[in-house]
Amino acid sequence: MTHALKSLSRSTLGVAISLAVVLAIWAGGLRLLDVSSFIGKGPLDVFGYLALDEDAAAHRAAVADNLTITLADAAIGFVAGLALALVAAAAFTLIRGVEDALLPIAMLLRSVPLVAMAPILILIFGRGTATVAAMGGIVVLFPALVTIVLGLRSASPAMVDVVSVFGGSKVAAFRKVALPASLPAFFTALRISIPGALTGALLAEWLATGQGIGYQIVSDVSRARYESVWASVVVVTAASLLLYGIVSVLERLVLRRMGQTV
């Protein structure tokens, strides 16, 4: 319990520092760049929009509803991309030739801007959950794949040889040596995939589904509702930081339980 509380305290402190830095850059950037107050809304403006205005309750409800949709869409892309990355990373490690065959495809998906691929994805999958999974999965796939593969290959060759000497198969060495050694890389992949999944969800909502924060921001910009735009951006950014902190806590707890330092 003590370790859990320490991990929670460290992650909470990290999130608080990140929020403070973001707020300082936000307020200072608007002032430094001399952005019009009609367009550029500062932290106090957003706080007033969500907490002090007469319609603040309605504003909070609208933002919360859109955030719920966006988080659900992000979860779909996150799971799809991470699952594909795990399967591909295992295949790269266990089967010779698979990496040479599949890595160019992953590189192609990474190099082509998602905005350019969106019309094709919409034509193929429509404007529903499948497109959300495809767009979010593409954003998550490549960085997660590279990180997990590097983690799997960081396993000690001596430990792999020990498994082989005692008659263990390649799959057994993968399960008993490579997988435990890749845990830090796996959690790193989780952390970097969170903002990627949110980005994919926002793009899918803007270009395909017509709902969630991604679409709401575009709609609000077209109607010059800049308080709502900034509030949506702030809320989704805060959600990303919170999820990042949760994964960091889980990482410390799991690695400590596995006997690995963080």
pLDDT along the chain (262 residues), means of 10: 60 73 87 87 90 90 94 94 91 82 76 82 88 90 89 82 77 83 90 91 90 92 92 92 86 78 56
State how far the Cα of 213 lies from the Cα of 199, in Å rounded to an integer. 11
Class of residue 173 by CB neighbours under 10 A (exposed 0-12, middle 13-18, buried 19+): buried
Decide: helix, strand or coil at residue 223.
Answer: coil
Note the CATH number of domain 2-257. Answer: 1.10.3720.10
Q: What is the pTM of this model?
A: 0.85
State how far the Cα of 2 lies from the Cα of 20, in Å rounded to an integer. 27
Residue 100: CB partners within 8 Å, gap ≥ 6? none
Q: Largest alpha-carbon pair distance within the chain? A: 73
State how far the Cα of 41 lies from the Cα of 37, in Å rounded to an integer. 6
Ramachandran area for residue 126 (φ above 0: left; ψ -120 to 50: alpha; else beta): left
Decide: helix, strand or coil at residue 48.
Answer: helix
Residue 14 CB neighbours (<10 A): 15
Please give the pLDDT value at position 161: 77
Residue with tokens 């760049």: 33
Quick check: 157 and 98 in contact, CB under 8 A?
no
Q: How far is CA 139 from CA 22, 72, 81, 195, 211, in A?
A: 24, 16, 7, 9, 19
Quick check: 200 and 138 in contact, CB under 8 A?
yes
Quick check: 89 and 152 in contact, CB under 8 A?
yes
State how far the Cα of 225 lies from the Cα of 165, in Å rounded to an integer. 68
For residues 211-221, one letter each, b for 16 or more C-beta atoms within 10 angstroms of the residue's C-beta and e for the rest, the string is bbbbbbbbebe
